[in-house]
Amino acid sequence: MIGSRPLRATRSLLVIVVVLVSACGIAPRKELNTGFSERNWGIRRSNISAVQNFVLKGRVAEAGIAGGRGDLDWTQSSDRMDLRITGPLGVGALAISGTPDSVEIRSKDGVITTGAPESYMQQRLGWSLPLAKLRYWALGIPAPGRIDEQPREVLLDDVGRAQRFEQTGWKIDYTEYQTVNSLTLPRKLTVAGGGRTFRLVIDQWIGIP
């Protein structure tokens, strides 16, 4: 009987080890991104950053708002944006033209020129989007800027495309991509911030090399 005690202790220890190993197997630690996806992401981000001009046509909608959807027609020429939203979305029709320093906004309230378009949109329309950064988010990459404005981390898929990142308080999620000539660009994404979420569907990219 005395000699069986070490045997029982050994068996108990083995059981504990098996349980611990099994528990570790239930939720294995997964790296955020692989070396392969990181390398592809670096190449992809560099190629997309070189895109200065494009035209996109699509739709934008605010989550949770019945009928809150508008058609989107957007032309980007270097720093100049010409963006038009038609449809409900609380505005009827909205046109935004200019650079980050000076923007002309045409809406049902008339025409104004402002250097702070986001504040104006928030006051007049009840919603706003970070226009200077939106062109990069639409292309599938974080916007350039100061170190404190850069995303803390970018979640990539297996081939190095952004799935999700957060920048300056906005969360950007990509749910579908499409091949456009030499690049793979977003087709569906959501932009969430300030308690509001906007869904963007891009039906057509034009002018992409």
Assigned domain for 187 exists: yes
14 lies in a domain? no
Say how far apart CA 10 and CA 25 lie, in whole Å.
Answer: 23
State in Å, rounded, how far the first CA of the chain is from the last one: 82
CA dihedral 90, 92, 98, 99 (to 10 degrees): 20
Range of the domain at 39: 35-206
The residue among 152 and 184 whose pLDDT is bigger is 184
As beta bridge partners, residue 200 has: 60, 189
Query: Is it the case that residue 35 has pLDDT exceeding 90?
Result: no
* CA 160 – CA 6 distance, rounded (Å): 54
CATH number, domain with residue 45: 2.50.20.10
Task: Tell me whether residue 202 is in a domain.
Answer: yes
DSSP state of 149: G
pLDDT of residue 22: 42
Number of domains in the chain: 1
Q: What is the mean pLDDT of the chain?
A: 82
Confirm if 187 and 177 have CB atoms less than 8 A apart.
yes
Banded model confidence at residue 66, pLDDT cuts 50, 70, 90:
low
Distance CA 114, CA 133 (A): 17
Residue 6: enclosing H or E segment and its boundaries? helix 4-26
% of the chain surpassing 90 pLDDT: 46
- Determine, yes or no, domain membership for 5: no
CB 120 within 8 A of CB 102: no
User: Is 80 domain-assigned?
Assistant: yes
- Do the domain assignments include residue 100? yes
* Residue 104 included in any domain: yes
User: What is the rounded distance in angstroms from the CA atom of residue 102 to the CA atom of residue 203?
Assistant: 28
Minimum mean pLDDT range among 55-59, 91-95, 159-163 = 91-95
What is residue 90's predicted lDDT score, i.e. its pLDDT?
Answer: 53
DSSP sequence for 51-96: --EEEEEEEEEETT-TT-EEEEEEEEETTEEEEEEEETTTTEEEEE
